[in-house]
Amino acid sequence: MNTRNTRPAFALAALSFATLLGAPPVSASDHLDTQAVINDPAADIGDLYAWMSPDGNHLNLVMTIVGKKFSDHVRYAFHIDSGQAIGKTSATSTIECDFNSAVAPECRLDQLDRARGDASVERGNESEQHRFRVFAGLRDDPFFNNVRGTRAALNVAAAALKAGVRRDTAGCARFDTATSARILDEWRHTEGNPGRNFLAGWNTAALVIEVDISAVNHGGPLLGVWATTTVRAAPPGHPPLEEGVAIDRMGRALTGNALLGTFDSEEASNARKEQYNRAPPEAWPMFVPDLAETLAIYDGFDGICGNQWLSKPGVGLGRYTRLALLLADDRIWIDSHARECKKSFGIERHETDCGGRAPGVDAVDVFRSLLVNGKVSGVEDGVSRDDREVSDSAFPFLAPPSPEQPSP
């Protein structure tokens, strides 16, 4: 695997089952899932975080970039949709940033406000109308994940699938007790030892925004947040590219990479992910069948079919449609009236919490557990926190960059 200039966050975890079954490995990092982002890691969104400040006055946003730098050929944008209910929004605010130098972006909040100048200092750069502030620079990557354990777990499942494990009418794989136990055990360990964070000491370029909530909640208190990178200008020596063409997008952690094109060939999977990255919101439902097919496999990892979150026990092909529809609308959902943001999928699960995704929350384990056993725990990877301290209140939230480590 080529890890040059890439962050290996999901390099192993997000390999498709086709890869695990013996197809050529993807020369890619966590979200280097299409040729467009492989060509320019500075356009590759590693992770997206969005949560409310404890005082309830600000929405905090973080976009990490795999290439460890920003590009003057890429436009970086946060999209904040607002409304009265999940999936039903009536207004959109956009914060987009262009870089003409490494640390001095011009960021615009719709037509309301803009910030220009050096944003690499800890306090960030405040906008002209004081509606938001921005930080842009190298920080310690807050993502934590036992990637090797995840790959080992998926390898066990892949071997069983290749051997012809039986499926039920909804497509759920009926893993036997021993196989299921091994899948969950491998997920909790790293090569037989306690789970280890594969990204310890890894740095990332981070674009951080703190924005007044009153500037972005015009449609209602529920916010759906997603991020994109688009073409700003064609790099020198490259074919002309139309401004505004989508390169990468992200909402919730794992949805696009871990659940899309899972059983396809590498070529077909990459083509589908390219479509996913470029799809406008109105086209997102087209990916429901893809997601449902992979959800059926995750549902069987604990040896029980039909206990996945939002599944319909006893239903055949439509068992996973409800969750697939929810995940296809790939936005991080936040209740802007709440001040505590500790529960991943909090809004979707009707919890008293802002939901969202704060950098210190173990969102990945919650996501896996919901997909496997329908609960918020039970499918852990043995890594519950990052090796560096992060903050949900002290701007710019992420820890300073770690001493450079050799690429894993």
3-state secondary structure of 129: coil
How much is the pLDDT for 235? 63
How much is the pLDDT for 256? 84
Instruction: Report the alpha-carbon distance of residue 179 to residue 166 in Å, rounded.
Output: 13
How much is the pLDDT for 264? 67
- Count CB-CB contacts under 10 A for residue 136: 28
Give 139-165 as a DSSP string: EE------HHHHHHHHHHHHHHHHTT-
Q: Cα angle vertex 129, ends 125, 134, to 5°? A: 25
User: CA dist 286 to 226, 283, 325, 329, Å?
Assistant: 18, 6, 10, 10
pTM for this prediction: 0.90
Give 237-287 as a DSSP string: TSPP--TT-EEEEESSTTHHHHHSSTTS-HHHHHHHHHHHHH--GGGGGGG
Which residues have C-beta within 8 Å of that of residue 192, sequence separation ≥ 6?
none
Instruction: Report the alpha-carbon distance of residue 72 to residue 220 in Å, rounded.
Output: 34
H/E element holding 47? strand 45-52
Q: 173 forms bridges with which residues in the sheet? A: 167
CB 147 within 8 A of CB 198: yes
CB 229 within 8 A of CB 76: yes
User: CA dist 228 to 60, 250, 251, 349, Å?
Assistant: 16, 7, 9, 26
**Which residues of the chain fall short of a pLDDT of 70?**
1-39, 234-241, 262-264, 404-408
How much is the pLDDT for 407? 53
Q: 312 forms bridges with which residues in the sheet? A: none
Q: What backbone phi and psi angles, to 5 degrees, belong to 195?
A: -55, 140
Tokens at residue 82, please?
């607002």
How much is the pLDDT for 238? 63
Residue with tokens 């990877």: 381
Question: Chain centroid to CA 397: how far?
Answer: 18
Residue pLDDT, tens place only, 134-161: 999 999 999 999 999 998 998 899 899 9
Q: 229 forms bridges with which residues in the sheet? A: 76, 248
How much is the pLDDT for 11? 34
Query: Rg (Cα) of the chain, in Å, rounded?
Result: 20
Which residues have C-beta within 8 Å of that of residue 156, sequence separation ≥ 6?
179, 182, 183, 186
Residue pLDDT, tens place only, 164-179: 999 999 999 999 999 9
Q: Which of 64, 36, 61, 66 is nearest to 50 (CA)?
A: 61
